[in-house]
Chain A
């Protein structure tokens, strides 16, 4: 009688287990070894391990370590990611990765919140630039420095994007689908209005152009200068910076400063005084149908706009004010701290694959997102795309003046909801800018106070 029965699969896959076990042990031991130098890593040994969401491993990949990635993408981006994951599964024999798709960034975030309470988490989650911080504050994201090695290090990524996922020198979130807003304009409408074939250099110039455009008929329809999006306050962050304001500095809310109020007043006046801008039901559809002369939209929308627009359009940097005001956006990848150590090690292998030149340049060129890795930025595929498509080059060039979100926007729970309410009040209700901004500042300050202790402990 065998007193130490071993499942046949373990014996059969000993080398694989040993390999991944070794990676797992390394993952566990490195933070312990580095605990003297880094307070965050010291707690690794006591991290409870949560279960993995159900994975159906196809027969040809059976016996591999399964890694689950929670993704927000459907449509074209979803297909491109699926193709990359398929390539990953075919490229090696140890790991099987599965995408589980949810309804946008909010969908992933809601599911992850529920998963943490149910003690069931994926190994990797795609988190937007303004949601990962909540998970970080609650110690649910894996510190990644200990996993660094060949093909997965700070040098792997675009430095500006990489820095956004680092807190107190520890990386928690690596860039993947990153973007900035661009200024898009309909060249035909600009020409019909006698405007120059370029993006406006400043917001004041833009407002003047809007006034010049008043009353212009284009293809039998009256057109306005700008269609606004009330569902996203991203662009408004850039406007605030351009006017010298901001949502916050650290957790100190700055929405009620004269500079921030001036930015709000600019948008309000363009809509209600000049009547050259309006809140659109679908601002992108209005632009591609020639209903409006210009929009500010993500670089990630370049591919779709090029496909849908039946006219020639141009792109440019966002207009400046006192300063440049260009916010970065999009999403990155985090490993969940409570995942099984062996699977976390396998997840790092997937991150390496996605950051390698082939995968990252494919992702960039097929989706329109900015190159988030150093390899993609200099790859022949991306440089050739920039040569062929000057609009895309504008997006890459603008990255040099872009910056990440203000801390209240990304750490405070009601930050996004409150800012959406601000822009909608400005666009629709014609309320006093000062009144709107001061009320929002008060609400955001209360939200900031509710996380101040954790923030001071982990971030400030």
Chain B
């Protein structure tokens, strides 16, 4: 048996220190360093202004708001008075605030769930490409680009129980129109209707684009395997729409939480607080009751809630969303 010795392993060794008589290697390293410095400079040049903007207009207000939430301040006095966690104690022991949170939950759930459901239905209808679909699609989308104030003004006319379209519609059934914006039982449903009308077109367009991106051969294959339409929808289309649903859910939740214009224009949080959601509560405390510290504490809570919602959704999306 012949034993052959293994070839010697060539190990990468650290390069020997540069000698003064190695001008070429010195030049290459210096050029690389110079290039790196240039790259960093370019990176800093491009990123720094944006980082400054984000720091000044996003992070600094958040930090400032947290500080403000620990103070009592009417926004006119020269300096806020530090009161520790009193605003938070007040927030969590105020029965009215509990009502506000409950109402916000109803508002956000109703707007998000109904917008997504109706938007999906509309998207399916649009995808059938019936005559006139492009015009109807444009009409459905247009409320999304109209300002909230204009939408509110239009709907205030429609909802007027004495002279509005609502009166005529209910009169067909021989009943009086509800006092939509002045009845505490109807005011929140009225706002939900308007918010859905304004936002559903956007949801439908996004879903339509996603539907059009689903390859037909997958659906054909399911059909050949004997899947019914409902099964195809449930087990093929919906999973493939999950990234879109995920995106829309996040954006709609955040948008509904922050919704302000419709409430400001149509009900002012009333009657009797029946449309006071968290965003309106913050405005009311800050700019009508001039209790900046209390409003800031509620804002911090809203920030934490949205942070948690986003974190949960991100974690969920890693497991369940099919890209």
Residues of A within 8 A of B (CB): 106, 110, 113, 116-117, 134-135, 137-138, 140, 221, 230-231, 278-282, 286, 289, 291, 413-414, 416-418, 420-421, 424-425, 427-429, 447, 450
Contact = CB atoms under 8 A, between A and B. Distances in A.
Given A106-B288, A281-B179, 4 more contacts: A281-B159, A417-B288, A424-B270, A427-B272
A420 B74 contact: no
B60 to A, nearest CB: 15
A427 B187 CA distance: 14
Of the listed residues A110, A137, A413, the one surrounded by the most CB atoms of chain B closer than 10 A to its CB is A413
B75 A428 contact: no
Contact of A428 (B77, B160, B184): B184
A420 B270 contact: yes
A117 B64 CA distance: 14
Contacts of B270: 230-231, 420-421, 424, 428
Contact of B161 (A281, A413, A417, A447): A281
Nearest to A412: B289
A110 B289 CA distance: 11
B72 interface: yes
B88 interface: no
A429 B270 CA distance: 11
Contact of A279 (B75, B77, B182): B182
Of the listed residues B183, B272, B273, B288, the one surrounded by the most CB atoms of chain A closer than 10 A to its CB is B272
A414 B272 contact: no
A116 B76 contact: yes
Given A281-B181, A420-B270, A428-B271, A134 B291 contact: no
Interface string B102-146: 000000000000000000000000000000000000000000000
Contact of A138 (B72, B77, B288): B77
A134 B288 contact: no
17 contacts: A113-B76, A116-B76, A134-B74, A135-B76, A230-B271, A231-B268, A414-B291, A416-B288, A417-B284, A421-B270, A421-B273, A424-B272, A428-B184, A428-B271, A428-B274, A429-B271, A447-B289
Contacts of B274: 428
B204 interface: no
Contacts of B287: 106, 110
A280 B182 contact: yes
A281 B76 contact: no
Contacts of B284: 417
A281 B272 contact: no
A138 B284 CA distance: 21
A291 B161 CA distance: 11
B27 to A, nearest CB: 56
Contact of A429 (B74, B179, B272): B272
B161 A117 contact: no
B130 to A, nearest CB: 38
Contact of B75 (A117, A282, A421, A447): A117
Interface residues on B, range: 20 to 34
Given A230-B182, A416-B288, A427 B271 contact: yes
B162 A286 contact: yes
Interface of B: 72, 74-78, 156, 159-163, 179, 181-184, 268, 270-274, 284, 287-291
B271 A413 contact: no
Nearest to B76: A138
Nearest to A428: B271
Contact of A425 (B78, B156, B272): B272
Q: Give the 7 A-B residue pairs with the shortest CB-CB distance, closest first.
A: A414-B289, A424-B272, A413-B290, A428-B271, A138-B76, A279-B182, A424-B271
A450 B72 contact: yes
Contacts of A134: 74, 76, 290
B288 A428 contact: no
Contacts of A291: 162
A429 B72 contact: no
B194 to A, nearest CB: 14
A309 B126 CA distance: 48
Contacts of A113: 75-76, 290
Contact of B163 (A289, A427, A429): A289
A176 to B, nearest CB: 21
Contacts of A418: 289
Nearest to B290: A413
A106 B284 CA distance: 12
A117 B183 CA distance: 39
B273 A413 contact: no
Nearest to A131: B290
Contacts of B163: 289
Nearest to A230: B271
A450 B83 CA distance: 12
A421 B291 CA distance: 17
Contacts of B162: 221, 286, 289, 291
A74 B170 CA distance: 36
Contacts of A450: 72
